[in-house]
């Protein structure tokens, strides 16, 4: 896929403003269908070695953060936004960034969107564009489509039209903060599914001095301890005779309600 993108950059004249722009920081417009009779662009044939590739559409704060993180983690990322100034501003940070109208099926085909493993749509300021981009990625056969929504109604609509996963960042952040504030012993938590979370919590006083087998958290609370933090040291997969002391933090897996019960 990224061989295709490199050729796409090379075959079109980059839109560059400013003499100090590095030669490798190509920014192109992909907002028109190819000229009639133009030579078709090469398509990548997948080999045995498969590196994960993502297309991120919409480069607001959320989309930009996702794209940066994926790049930092060593993945191939093509970032796209309809706003040329935004694209140009990010060209020095993201290896592959294009100006693109994601509601244009021909433009998506032009960049080979159908060959990406995962599409992430983050056009939060324009729900119609968010919706259409999701439908088009699905139509092109992108295997996994993740979409950002702003409301529960948008979430339901996007799920119905084929999004594999819909996220509500503001809602989830609010719920997460509320949970932390309501349980004073909670340090942090990560929801794995509606029923299961990974919770980091300060060991409650009624566990101080007890070993894990004595605490018997699995039977009493349905929680599994996967790590104990003692200051700067983290003991992963602690043995049954590991002792819980004052000031320790427990990393447990289970239902959030059960962890709240433990902290009472």
Q: Domain coordinates of the chain in residue numbers?
A: 2-167, 172-263
d(CA 110, CA 139): 15
Condensed to tens digits (0 to 9), the pLDDT of residues 186-238 reads 777 777 777 888 888 899 999 999 999 999 999 999 999 999 999 889 999 99
d(CA 164, CA 160): 10
Structure confidence at residue 22 (pLDDT):
44
Lowest-pLDDT choice from 63-72, 95-104, 163-172, 200-209: 163-172
Residue 185 DSSP code: T
Equal fold, 2-167 vs 172-263: no
Structure confidence at residue 256 (pLDDT):
83
- Averaged pLDDT, 24-47: 43
Condensed to tens digits (0 to 9), the pLDDT of residues 231-246 reads 889 999 999 999 999 9
CB 122 within 8 A of CB 62: yes
3-class secondary structure, 54? strand
3-class secondary structure, 28? strand
Q: Name the pTM for this structure.
A: 0.59
Structure confidence at residue 239 (pLDDT):
95
What is the CATH number that goes with domain 172-263?
3.30.70.1450
Give Cβ neighbours of residue 175 (< 8 Å, ≥ 6 apart): none
Task: Count other C-beta atoms under 10 Å from residue 83's C-beta.
Answer: 12
196-222 burial code (b ≥16 CB/10 A, e <16): ebbbbbbbeeebeebebeebebeeebb
Answer whether CATH 3.40.50.720 is correct for domain 2-167. yes
The model's confidence at residue 125, banded by pLDDT at 50, 70 and 90, is: confident
Structure confidence at residue 39 (pLDDT):
38
Residue 83 has pLDDT above 50, yes or no: yes
Residue 181 has pLDDT above 80, yes or no: no
Structure confidence at residue 20 (pLDDT):
40
């Amino acid at each position: 896929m990224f061989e295709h993108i490199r050729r796409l950059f090379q075959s079109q004249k980059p839109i560059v403003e400013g003499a100090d722009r590095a030669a490798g920081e190509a920014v192109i417009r992909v907002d028109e269908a190819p000229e009639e009779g133009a030579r078709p662009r090469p398509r990548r044939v997948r080999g045995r070695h498969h590196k994960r590739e993502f297309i991120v559409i919409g480069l607001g704060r959320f989309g930009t953060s996702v794209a940066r993180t994926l790049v930092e983690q060593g993945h191939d990322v093509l970032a796209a936004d309809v706003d040329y100034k935004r694209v140009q501003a990010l060209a020095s940070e993201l290896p592959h960034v294009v100006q693109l109208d994601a509601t244009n099926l021909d433009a998506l085909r032009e960049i080979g969107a159908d060959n990406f493993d995962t599409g992430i749509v983050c056009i939060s300021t324009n729900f119609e564009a968010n919706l259409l981009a999701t439908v088009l990625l699905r139509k092109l056969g992108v295997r996994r489509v993740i979409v950002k929504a702003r409301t529960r109604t948008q979430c339901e609509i996007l799920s119905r039209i084929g999004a594999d996963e819909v996220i509500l960042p503001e809602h989830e952040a609010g719920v997460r903060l509320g949970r932390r504030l309501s349980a004073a012993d909670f340090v942090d938590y990560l929801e794995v599914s509606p029923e299961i979370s990974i919770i980091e919590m300060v060991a409650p006083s009624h566990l101080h001095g007890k070993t894990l087998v004595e605490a018997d958290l699995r039977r009493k609370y349905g929680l599994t301890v996967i790590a104990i933090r003692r200051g700067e040291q983290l003991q992963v997969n602690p043995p049954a005779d590991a002792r819980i002391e004052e000031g320790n933090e427990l990393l447990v897996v289970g239902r959030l309600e059960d962890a709240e019960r433990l902290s009472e």
